[in-house]
Each structure stands twice: as C-alpha cells, then as structure tokens.
Amino acid sequence: MEKNPMMSRPVVKPELVDFMRKELKPFSGGLAEIEAYANERGIPIIPHETAVFLNMIVGMLKPQRVLEIGTAIGFSGSMMAQHLGEEGHLTTIDRFDIMIERAKNNFEKMGLSDKVTLLEGDAANILPTLDETFDLIFMDSAKAKYYEFLPHCMRVLEEGGMLIIDDVFQGGTILEDEKEIPRRVRKIHRRLNLLMDTVLNHPSLETSLVPLGDGLLMIKKIAPHDFSYILEEI
C-alpha cells in the first residue's frame, strides 16, 4: 500500500507535533508493539497524538458496538476494542489482503479475536449490507470515499452516537482553490469539501474539527436524517 504523503505534512507547527509525540504517554504492551511495527515500516496508522486522543474519547464514551472503516494492521481497532465491555463488539472493514492477515494476527495476539469481526472486502460494497446499528464509527479509509460513505454511516449510527473521520485536512490543502490542487488528488479535495459543506452546519448533527494528525472530523448524530440523496449525486 502506498504511503499517504499527507502523513508527513502536519497541520500544526512541526515543533508542536514533535512535542506531542515525545511527551504524550506511550502505549504499553501489545499496542506499543503494533504502533512501533507500523512506524518502523511506514505502514499508515493514526499518529501517536491522534491515537492518544482517540483512546481517551473511546474510554469516555464507553461504546458497546463500534464500526471501523479501514482496519490496516489492527492498531486503532485493538485500541478501541480494549474499551469494550463483556457484551461489546467491534466490526472492522478492510480490502487489502496483506493488511487483513496482519490485523487478524494482531487481534489474536491482543486476545481480542472474540470481540472483533473483520469484514473482508470493499467498504463501498459492505456498508450498504449492514443491518445493525453502532454507538461509535471510526472512518480512516479512502479519503475520496468519505462523502459517499456518509449516508451509510448515518443510517447505521445510533441517535446520540458519534462518527469520527480521520485525515480530513489533506495537509492543509483543503482550503486551497481546486485549480491549485494536483489533478491526481482533485477528487479527494472536492469530496472532502463536499463533506465539510454537508456536515458542519447541519441541523441534525453536532460537529467539531480537531487539528491532530491530518485533522479529525467529529460528528454526533442528534436527530435522524436521510442522507441518501448524496448517493444519487455522485
């Protein structure tokens, strides 16, 4: 899998990023091993400052049914699954065979296999088939697909539940004119802006943006709303 170049373009001062990554408490045990393995090999996982923040949020929310879109090698999934109660469960989706194999191994090493269901395939095909609801959804997958996936996420998200979307700033280029964006990433730029335009002031949602990593978009569903019109637009 090609490394996302935006991972090396933090949206806050580099010295602040360095400070957070050095001073925030490190993970221990299996999580630390997975994080180190990924960082040493350039495997795309959420950066440490984002992981620490997400770990705190999940610990506070105490969700019982979690959906993750983009498993990678199971780092964020393992971190979230550790907060689940006895009846809690994580459903995670990925389409890359090499990532799926590593994630399964990591879930097993972490003793989390019984709490995790890994759905293998393209999220675009799997999301429409989901017939259960979730308290928390974490999306860290193809950035050009976020806007397309939004209606499916809102359909299966419980009222009062939260959708957290990673990497929404594209290294800060989200604010630039599309004409200034390289053609190969214009679709991502366009779709991310459509996503922002849709959710930031929507009456059925509470939203917040957090400048950690390449940006987190946090969305709380406060009332039902049908977003299926998006699927007709694209």
Judged on CB neighbours under 10 Å (0-12, 13-18, 19+), 102 is buried
Sheet holding 89-94, edge to edge: 116-120, 89-94, 65-69, 134-139, 157-166, 216-221, 205-210
- Indicate the pLDDT class of residue 234, thresholds 50, 70 and 90: confident
Q: Which of 4-18, 44-58, 124-138 is least confident?
A: 4-18
pLDDT in tens, 183-217: 999 999 999 999 999 999 999 999 999 999 999 99
Mean pLDDT of the chain: 94
For residue 121 the two structure tokens come to: 């395939």
pLDDT given at position 11:
79
For residue 54 the two structure tokens come to: 């997400």
pLDDT given at position 7:
56
pLDDT given at position 12:
84
- Strands (E) in the chain, as ranges, are 65-69, 89-94, 116-120, 134-139, 157-166, 205-210, 216-221
Please indicate whether residue 212 or residue 11 has the higher confidence score (pLDDT). Answer: 212
pLDDT given at position 94:
97
Bridge partner list, 67: 91, 137
pLDDT in tens, 84-120: 998 999 999 999 999 999 999 999 999 999 999 999 9
pLDDT given at position 2:
47
Is the pLDDT confidence value at 174 over 50?
A: yes
Please indicate whether residue 7 or residue 30 has the higher confidence score (pLDDT). Answer: 30
pLDDT given at position 1:
47
184-223 burial: b if 16+ Cβ within 10 Å, else e: ebeebbebbbbbbebbeebebbeeeeeebbbbbbebbbee
Q: What is the pTM of this model?
A: 0.94
pLDDT given at position 203:
97
